[in-house]
Amino acid sequence: MCLALPAQIIAIDPASNMATASVGNVKVEVSLALVDDVALGDYVLVHVGYALNKIDEDEALKTLALFAEAGLTGQAYEIH
């Protein structure tokens, strides 16, 4: 129930507050009723037909950097 997929906004209809989002090559209609300031090209989390949140690219890059940092410790462990 709580699963949500990252999807990219590819079209917005301001009149109905709906958007078309792309997950892989699948296009879905999503409501923008729960988010503000969504622009074309943004990634949002889509849950039961609604965009829940915008995804923050800078924060995603920081998290990936954290994985790599922990990975360095892991590599050092392998050598010992």
Partner 1 sequence: MKYISEFRQQGLAQQLANAIAQTVNPGRHYRLMEFCGGHTHAIFRYGVQDLMPANVEFIHGPGCPVCVLPTGRIDNAIQLAGHHDVILCTYADLMRVPATGRNSLLKAKADGSDIRMVYSTQDALKIARENPERQVVFFAIGFETTTPPTAVAIKQAQAEELANFSVFCNHVLTPAAMQAILDAPQPVSIDAFLGPSHVSTVIGSQPYEVFAERYAKPIVIAGFEPLDVMQSSLMLIRQLNEGRCEVENEYSRAVTRQGNLKAQALMQDVFELRPQFEWRGLGLIPNSALQLKPEYADFDAEQRFNMPAIQASDAKGCECPAILRGAKKPQDCKLLGTMCTPENPMGSCMVSSEGACAAYWSYGRVRG
- Check residue 71 for interaction with partner 1 (CB under 8 A): yes
Least distance (Å) from partner 1 to the CB of residue 20? 14
How is residue 73 written in tokens? 């410790």
Q: Under the phi-then-psi rule, with left for phi > 0, alpha for psi from -120 to 50, and beta for the rest, what region is 77?
A: alpha
User: If binding is defined by CB under 8 A, does position 13 make contact with partner 1?
Assistant: no
Quick check: 74 binds partner 1 (CB under 8 A)?
yes
Give kind and range of the element (H or E) at residue 71: helix 57-79
Query: Which of the residues 25 through 44 are near partner 1 (CB under 8 A)?
Result: 31, 33-36, 43
Question: By three-state DSSP, how is residue 34 classified?
Answer: coil
Strand (E) or helix (H) holding 68: helix 57-79
Q: Which residues bind partner 1 (CB under 8 A)?
A: 1-6, 31, 33-36, 43, 45, 47-50, 52-53, 55-57, 59-64, 66-68, 70-75, 77-78
